[in-house]
């Protein structure tokens, strides 16, 4: 029963099922979340499949099928490790197990085991998603073999045991050491940002990945042998007869050993780590300094900033655009096809700077839209929302602080992109300044619109932080609204591309549209606040 509970709630299956059977809003949320998930999976798997197809042809031309599998399994190990590292913190250490499950008459070892099985299920999804497409490409190229598909499936099920074990050991040791640090949550956030940023960069820069594999085939082969799951699974595919099944048995045996060792280690340290983390939180609450008297909105601004930055779950889900901004600026500036497109669009060479600035502004505003800080602001309060309702601070003052924090987070991504983009492509300084001020003003309606959505339908019932953001339709709706406003801002530029507007008309019309969006969203949120304050 406990395992069923863990799988349903921690993998989000229960919430999705409840949403499907709920109101029209719940069904729309479930459908929208599912479509967004499928879109994101497609954005990752489609370029990955293209890369693996090119790599197979390259290795096959050199008569080196083992090199193809070495690369496939190395990438799968890396992806599984990254996803397991992030989900280990989310599933094992950021939930409410100590508060809800520990007081019950359930063995602590069983609590950890069910959590670990849930974690393994998530890692298995990542493993299957990357290994099976690679095997399908191999089957298409070499001819269908039912036995290879069976080996691939069995091997894929056992494959995540090693990267998951490494991820759990690393995260448990980090939390055990950092539990006494004052800013351990911030350290965990920075660590997660570095891991996720590197993953996004490698996934986006396909040419770099291909060159690395082509130039370092021997190194990849040697490195892959360190991971016994990859080595044994590769040999089970390439070997013939009984030896191939022997290697497959070694894959399963190695996975069983890793799982058993992690079970022994986790059963011994899991509860102790949770105790240290709980004691650290209690100590922090006792020593917590009170805010100096001042504007209540400033206090809520600081609270919102700390809530986001000190939670790896909130930071990595709400502030993904800040990670993407510099990566996008660097990748686009290196893309020769981007320059060729602008050359074709430009009527005269002197228009190149204007086109660069407008495309940079469009991309910068688009990146800003991928932010869930305001559209999950109220939802993140959860069951503690009653505190905001009873304190002697007007709702309007609380909202001002939340708005200020959201605007700052929006500007951090948009301004970072537009400035870096302008410097790398050597755009006229006046255009960079213009884009910077449009980013500043354009962030305001994004923040007001997102907070209006969450204030209207907050998701206050959740058991772990990820449910307040990743499984909250308000976040996706807020991003969609911001994208729509971005397109409205850039209508004059689209008319310029159609030959209707001049450059001067575009530069004059965009600020007017931004101002109209500010007035509209501010008035809507203020009306909502007045209704709630009655």
Q: Are residues 411 and 497 in the same domain?
A: yes
Closest CA to 400 of 329, 465, 304, 327: 304
Q: Are residues 264 and 376 in the same domain?
A: no
Position 428 in a domain: yes
* Of 223, 255, 280, the domain-final residue: 280
471 within 8 A of 33, measured Cβ to Cβ = yes
* Of 227, 247, 280, the domain-final residue: 280
489 within 8 A of 438, measured Cβ to Cβ = yes
Token digits of residue 83: 């996803």
- Sole residue written with tokens 């001042």: 294
**How does pLDDT run along the chain (534 residues), one tens digit per residue?**
555 655 555 555 555 555 555 555 556 666 666 676 677 677 777 777 877 787 788 778 877 777 788 888 887 888 888 788 777 776 766 655 555 666 666 677 777 788 888 888 888 888 888 888 888 888 888 887 888 888 888 888 888 888 888 888 887 777 766 655 555 555 555 655 565 555 555 555 555 555 555 555 555 555 556 677 888 888 888 887 788 888 889 989 989 999 898 888 887 877 777 776 665 544 444 444 444 445 777 888 888 888 887 777 777 777 778 878 887 887 777 765 566 666 665 555 667 788 888 988 999 999 898 888 888 888 888 877 777 777 777 888 888 888 998 899 899 888 889 998 888 888 888 888 999 999 999 999 999 999 999 888 888 877 777 777 877 788 888 888 999 999 999 999 999 888 898 889 999 999 999 999 999 999 999 998 888 877
Position 507 in a domain: yes
Q: Which domain holds residue 91?
A: 52-280
Q: Are residues 217 and 305 in the same domain?
A: no
Q: Are residues 247 and 303 in the same domain?
A: no
CA 208 to chain centre: 22
Q: Are residues 427 and 318 in the same domain?
A: yes
Token digits of residue 355: 């086109």
**What's the number of domains the chain is made of?**
2
Q: Are residues 105 and 177 in the same domain?
A: yes
Give the integer Cα–Cα distance in Å for 130 and 135: 9
End-to-end CA distance of the chain: 45
* Of 280, 306, 321, the domain-final residue: 280
């Amino acid at each position: 029963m406990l395992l069923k509970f863990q799988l349903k709630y921690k993998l989000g299956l229960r919430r999705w099922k409840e949403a499907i059977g709920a109101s029209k809003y719940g069904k729309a949320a479930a459908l929208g979340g599912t479509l967004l998930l499928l879109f994101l999976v497609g954005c990752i798997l489609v370029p990955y499949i293209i890369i693996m197809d090119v790599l197979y042809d390259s290795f096959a031309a050199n008569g080196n099928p083992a090199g193809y599998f070495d690369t496939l399994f190395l990438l799968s190990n890396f992806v599984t490790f990254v996803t397991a590292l992030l989900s280990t913190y989310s599933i094992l250490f950021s939930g409410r197990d100590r508060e809800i499950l520990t007081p019950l008459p359930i063995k602590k070892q069983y609590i950890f085991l069910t959590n670990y099985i849930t974690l393994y299920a998530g890692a298995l999804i990542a493993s299957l998603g990357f290994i099976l497409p690679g095997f399908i490409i191999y089957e298409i190229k070499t001819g269908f073999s039912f036995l290879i598909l069976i080996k691939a499936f069995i091997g894929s099920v056992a494959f995540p045991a090693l990267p998951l074990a490494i991820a759990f050991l690393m995260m448990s040791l980090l939390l055990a050491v950092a539990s006494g640090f004052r800013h351990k949550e911030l350290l965990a956030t920075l660590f997660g940002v570095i891991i996720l940023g590197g993953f996004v960069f490698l996934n986006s820069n396909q040419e770099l990945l291909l060159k690395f594999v082509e130039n370092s085939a021997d190194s990849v082969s040697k490195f892959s042998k360190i991971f016994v799951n990859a080595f044994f699974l590769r040999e089970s595919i390439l070997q013939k007869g009984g030896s191939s099944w022997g290697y497959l048995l070694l894959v399963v045996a190695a996975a069983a050993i890793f799982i058993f060792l992690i079970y022994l280690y986790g059963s011994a340290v899991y509860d102790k780590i949770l105790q240290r983390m709980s004691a650290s939180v209690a100590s922090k609450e006792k020593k917590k300094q009170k805010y100096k008297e001042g504007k209540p909105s400033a206090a809520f601004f600081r609270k919102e900033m700390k809530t986001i930055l000190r939670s790896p779950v909130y930071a990595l889900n709400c502030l993904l655009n800040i990670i993407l901004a510099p990566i996008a600026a660097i990748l686009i500036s290196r893309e020769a096809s981007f320059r060729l497109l602008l050359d074709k669009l430009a009527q005269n060479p002197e228009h190149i700077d204007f086109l660069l600035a407008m495309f940079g502004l469009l991309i910068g505003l688009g990146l800003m839209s991928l932010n869930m800080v305001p559209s999950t602001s109220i939802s993140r309060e959860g069951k503690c929302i009653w505190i905001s309702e009873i304190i002697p601070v007007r709702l309007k003052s609380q909202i001002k602080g939340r708005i200020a924090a959201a605007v700052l987070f929006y500007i951090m991504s948009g301004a970072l992109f537009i400035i870096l983009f302008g410097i790398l492509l050597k755009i006229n300084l006046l255009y960079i300044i213009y884009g910077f001020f449009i980013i500043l003003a354009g962030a305001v309606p994004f923040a007001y619109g997102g907070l209006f959505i969450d204030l209207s339908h907050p998701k206050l019932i959740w058991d772990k932080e990820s449910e307040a953001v990743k499984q909250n339709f308000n976040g996706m709706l807020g991003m969609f609204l911001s994208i729509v406003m971005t397109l409205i801002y850039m209508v004059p530029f689209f008319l310029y591309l159609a030959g209707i507007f001049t450059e001067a008309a575009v530069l004059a019309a965009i600020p007017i549209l931004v101002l109209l969006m500010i007035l509209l969203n501010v008035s809507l949120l203020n009306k909502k606040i007045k209704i709630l304050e009655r």
